[in-house]
Amino acid sequence: MSWLQQFRDRITSWSTPESLGVRGERAAARFLKRQGYIIVAHGERDRIGEIDLVAIDGKTIVFVEVKTRASHDRGHPAEAVDQDKQRRLTRVALSYLRRHDLLEYSARFDVVAITWPPDQKQPTIEHFKNAFEAVGTGQMFN
């Protein structure tokens, strides 16, 4: 893709009512609901950071990180969930569990990678269950 086309695509994405990330999170929530998950929170934020989706899968609390990209030009979307991001997500998830008095429940981290080229109506969605273990100190996950 030429730099001119990339520039046009970026300008187009700025002028659309919803950002690519927001569209991706909505698509991920719909996808997970079709898989039987119950979505309990969107964009759960505290002073530490944000979790895109919090869901229930059976008896497990699932913290879902959604990564949406227009292409794989800069790598696969899931590759953006590096060690540092995992550490931050772990801290936010632990804070969420404490705040809602849910420390006794099992929890896991999933990643939903979405590729949504500007010329396609529907994205490609990949769901990575149990994508990573809690990272850092103070893990309290089963």
Number of domains in the chain: 1
CB 134 within 8 A of CB 28: no
3/100: higher pLDDT = 100
Question: Which whole number is the average pLDDT over 44-68?
Answer: 94
Per the structure, the complete domain to which residue 40 belongs is given by 16-132
* Mean pLDDT calculated for residue range 28-39: 98
Say if 7 falls within a structural domain: no
pLDDT digits (tens, 9 = 90+) for 110-134: 999 999 999 999 999 999 999 999 9
122 lies in some domain? yes
Task: Please report whether residue 5 resides in a domain.
Answer: no
CATH number of the structural domain spanning residue 76:
3.40.1350.10
Query: Is residue 30 assigned to a domain?
Result: yes
Region 12-31: what's the mean pLDDT? 81
Prediction pTM value: 0.82
Computed over every residue of the chain, the mean pLDDT equals: 88
